Structure formats: structure tokens, C-alpha cells
Amino acid sequence: MPAWFGSDRAARLPPDWPRRRARVLRRDPICQVCQLAPATEVDHINPGDDHSDANLQGICGPCHATKSGREGGRAAASRRPSARRPADPHPGLIER
Ligand SMILES: [Zn+2]
């Protein structure tokens, strides 16, 4: 189980999560955050209990780690820009 997979989060995932996850990775083969790396994980766009496909996106490991870290606090989440900025360098490679 990946390190980001907290116990609280694991308890909330639906029983058919593996199927949903596979479906999202087929739909989003490239990381939807950096648009560079292959997506290897599935991220909740809006953190919480919405596990619908519309709230899920394929994401690479470094981007997921960065995003999950930011979601640790509400203050950090509110600072996050809402618009995607695909021209940015890979967020896993720079300090923010
Ligand atoms: Zn990425």
C-alpha cells in the first residue's frame, strides 16, 4: 500500500475502488496535473467522499505526493490556484 494511503482515507474508499481506479487510469493515461508523466495513481480532484469518475483524475506519483501534502491543511488548500497551469514546470521537481 502506498505511503500516502492514510488509514482514514482507506476506510472511506468504496468496495469497487480497484475497478474505478483502473477505469480512471485508462481514461487519463497521462498525469492530469503536469501533463508530462504517465499517470500511475488516481487522485480526488475535490478531497472528500466523492468517488465518482468526474471527481477522479489520473496523476503521477510526484504530483500526487505534492497535492496530498497540500491537502493536509485547509489554509494550504485555499492557497491552491483553481485553474490548471500546464505551462508550469513539473511541480514534483521544484520548490513551492
Ligand atoms: Zn504529474
pLDDT band at 24 (very low <50, low <70, confident <90, very high): very high
- Distance between Cα 64 and ligand 1 center (Å): 7
Look at residue 72 in the predicted model and tell me its pLDDT: 60
- Specify burial of residue 40 (Cβ count, 10 A radius: 0-12, 13-18, 19+): middle
Does pLDDT of 14 surpass 70?
yes
pLDDT, tens only, 28-50:
999 999 999 999 999 999 988 89
Helix H or strand E encompassing 40? none
Q: Domain ranges in the chain?
A: 7-79
Give tens-digit pLDDT for 50-65: 999 999 999 999 999 9
Ligand 1 centroid to Cα of residue 49, in Å, is: 22
